[in-house]
Amino acid sequence: MNIDSIQNGVVLDHIQAGKSMDIYKYLHLDELDCQVAIIKNARSEHMGRKDIIKIDYPLDLDLDVLGYIDSNITVNIIRDGKRVEKKHLELPHKLVNVIHCKNPRCITVSESQLDAIFLLSDPAKHTYRCAYCETAIDKKF
C-alpha cells in the first residue's frame, strides 16, 4: 500500500490500533475540506499494530482531546514536506467541553452555557471528576 507524504499538515502517529475513527469523530475531521488519510492496523515494531492519521492541511489540534483518547499519540507537524515539530502527549489534568456530566442533577445539565469541566482524579484508572458535582467518569476509550 502506498500513501503519499504530505507537504503541510499534521501526522498523528502511534495511535492505538482501532482508535483512529474515534479521533476522526472527536476532532471533527469530516468537516475539513482537505485530504485526510486514515491508516488502520499498520505494522509497528514497538506496538505490534497501530493507526496513523495524515491531515494534509496545517491546523491547530485540541491536544487535550487527543491526550484523553490516547496519551501515547505522537503529533508530527509537517511543513514543506519535512517534520518541523514532534509533540508527545500526556493524559490532560483538566478537560473542558470534551466529556459531559452524566449526573442529571449537575448544574451543567440545567445550565447549558456552563462549560463542562472535568479534573483528572485518578491517573492510573484514567478517572475524571466533574468540577461542579464531583461525579466520576472513567475514560471509555
pLDDT of residue 1: 55
Angle at CA of residue 41, ends 40 and 45, nearest 5° = 135
| Residues near 80 by beta carbon (within 8 Å), at least 6 away in sequence | 7, 8
The class that CATH gives domain 9-88 is alpha beta
| Tens of pLDDT, residues 20-41 | 998 898 888 888 888 899 999 8
Query: CATH 2.30.30.20 occupies which residues in the chain?
Result: 94-138
In the structure, what pLDDT confidence band is assigned to residue 64 with cuts at 50, 70 and 90? confident
The class that CATH gives domain 94-138 is mainly beta
In the structure, what pLDDT confidence band is assigned to residue 6 with cuts at 50, 70 and 90? confident
pLDDT of residue 61: 83
Query: CATH 3.30.70.140 occupies which residues in the chain?
Result: 9-88
pLDDT of residue 25: 87
